[in-house]
Amino acid sequence: MGDFFKPWRRKIGAVTLVMACVFSVGLVRSFYISDVMEYFPGESSMIRLISWRGNVSCSYLIGKPPSKFVKRFLFFAYENPYPFETEFEGCQWVWRVGHMGVATCSDTTSDSIAVVSPYWSIVFPLTLLSAYLLLTKPRIAKPKTNVEHRLSE
């Protein structure tokens, strides 16, 4: 068993499988509880991660300074249904396919860009990548030949 995880591809495959499992848990949780995480890296910027109804979105907001009493990191959880669709009302979609897309939003005090993606579009490729990395046999390295030995022949 110790030899199974010797190659780097198997270690990376195990990490991608764990990531796929974490996103799968997020997928199931998002149908019952909506999560919002906000991070304030600077005085006038905010990064917001939202998980709701099988989707995850990441927004970057510039221009609206947070209150001086706001912590650098905030976490909220809401019982569904929470109307996050209103989060993107008035936004211009740069591109959109179903529930996946990129939107830009502007109002009088701030500008933001948001990337929205369904969880399955993250879980499925991670699962396929981990299956490939874990289940395929590693290639056997060819023995190196001495160049000087070849030239003398």
Q: Residue-wise pLDDT tens for the chain (153 aa)?
A: 566 666 788 889 999 999 999 999 999 998 899 888 988 887 778 888 988 888 898 988 888 665 665 678 888 888 866 666 666 777 788 888 877 889 888 877 778 888 889 999 999 999 999 999 988 876 776 776 665 555 555
- Quick one: which of 112, 149, 139, 142 has its CA closest to 8? 139
Residue 100 lies in a domain: yes
Domain count, the chain: 1
Determine contact, residues 31/54, Cβ cutoff 8 Å: yes
Residue 138 lies in domain: 8-152
Residue 96 lies in a domain: yes
- Quick one: which of 37, 38, 44, 49 has its CA closest to 68? 44
Residue 3 lies in a domain: no
Residue 97 lies in a domain: yes
- Please state, in angstroms and rounded to a whole number, the distance separating the CA atoms of residues 130 and 138: 14
Residue 1 lies in a domain: no
Residue 30 has a CB neighbour count (10 Å cut-off) of 20
Residue 2 lies in a domain: no
Residue 138 lies in a domain: yes
- Please state, in angstroms and rounded to a whole number, the distance separating the CA atoms of residues 51 and 67: 24
